[in-house]
Structure 1
Amino acid sequence: MAEENVTEKLDDEKRTLTIFGPETEFDGVLEFSDDLIITGKFNGRIKATGNLEIAKGAVCTVEKMTAKSIVISGSVTGAVEASERVEICNGGSVTGDIVTARLRIENNVNFEGQITMLDKLPEENLFSAASAEYKQAMVLRSDVIE
């Protein structure tokens, strides 16, 4: 298994970037908090708080893939969930449902599944907002929930 760790300065903080090389095959449950790029094959479940990239040529079959952001240039079969964003790049393929706050799909992409967009709660402080502002935030939120 070829694995490479690189420390980069991402988002003004030190984060470790791990790369699973093209000859890497991983079966099982993978949990991580920094950033990972998969260029080989993965089967199983991914639970991450960092960023995940599925590179061109990579093949992932997952029960569920969860991360902060997910960029897909390769092939993914299974549920995909990102708290911030999912991006499917040119030539990428996803067969499975996507749950995310933001979604970008480029041209020449194969996608089969359903998309659920996450709604972030209003960041209003109940005690500092004027009653009219708070009421308007709640009205907008209730329209989304129904």
Structure 2
Amino acid sequence: MPQNTELEKKLEKKAEKEDRQKKNLTVFGQETEFDGELEFTDNLVITGKFSGKINATGNLEIDKTALCNVESIKVNSLVISGKVKGNIEAKERVEMCSGSSVAGDVVTGRIRIADNVDFEGSVKMIQDPPEVDLFSVASDEFKQALLIKSDLPH
């Protein structure tokens, strides 16, 4: 049974990666200054200056040359190499690369903070609930459902 689960996970990750690659990529250049509210469903890279609010279902990358002063950022995943001031919520993951600066609270499913990151704020981890109804299954089945959802070897 665990082998099928691992195979399913690998196939799911491959499909997600292919979906990301199929999405359009938009880049705000280094000379771009944007002030307002952004919404997008694909991939966005900010290399310039942004002020305001981001509420998107896509993936965001903040380049090492970028300065973002936000009310909030809500995206699927976020990679930060530049400077961000404001609260962040990423459904899938947040990655803070070496040399980045983040001042704000982070809510995410996964987080990676590299060495040499200036981070001031709190982190709250979110988890998707298991797809099993807690009250309709035996405890052993529920435990197995939790193990399947986790990244821990089982």
Q: Same fold (TM over 0.5)?
A: yes
Q: By how many angstroms is 1:11 displaced?
A: 2.4
Which one has the bigger helix percentage?
Answer: 2
Q: How many residues align?
A: 130
Deviations 1:4-25 (A, max 9, x none): xxxxxx8223210000000000
Aligned-residue Cα RMSD (Å) equals 2.4
- 8 Å contact kept, 2:51–2:69: yes
Partner in structure 2 of residue 78 of structure 1: 86
Residues 122 and 137 of structure 1 are in contact (CA less than 8 Å); yes or no, is this contact kept in structure 2? no
2:38 corresponds to:
30
d(CA) in 2 for partners of 1:11, 1:79: 26
TM-score, length basis structure 2 = 0.77
Sort the Cα spacing of 1:15 and 1:48 in 2 relative to 1 into closer, same or farther, 3 A: same
- Give the structure 1 partner of residue 139 of structure 2: 132
Query: Among 11, 26, 31, which residue is 2:17 paired with?
Result: 11
Q: 2:132 touches 2:145 (CA, 8 Å); kept in 1? A: no
Tell me the alpha carbon deviations over residues 75-127 of structure 1, each in whole angstroms, 9 at most, x when there is no partner.
Answer: 00000110000000000000000000100000100000010000220122669
- Alignment partner of 1:94 is 2:102: yes
For 2:103 and 2:118, how far apart are their aligned partners in 1?
A: 8
* Aligned residue type for 2:116: N
8 A Cα contact 2:94 2:112, kept in partner: yes
Contact 1:44 1:61 in 2 (8 A): yes
Q: Distance in 1 between matches of 2:82 and 2:146?
A: 41
TM-score where L is the length of structure 1: 0.81
Identity among equivalent positions (%) equals 54
* Alignment equivalent of 1:49, drawn from 57, 67, 72: 57
8 Å CA contact 1:40–1:58 kept in 2: the answer is yes
- Name the structure where strand makes up a greater proportion of residues: 1
Structure 2 unaligned spans of 5+? 1-15, 148-154
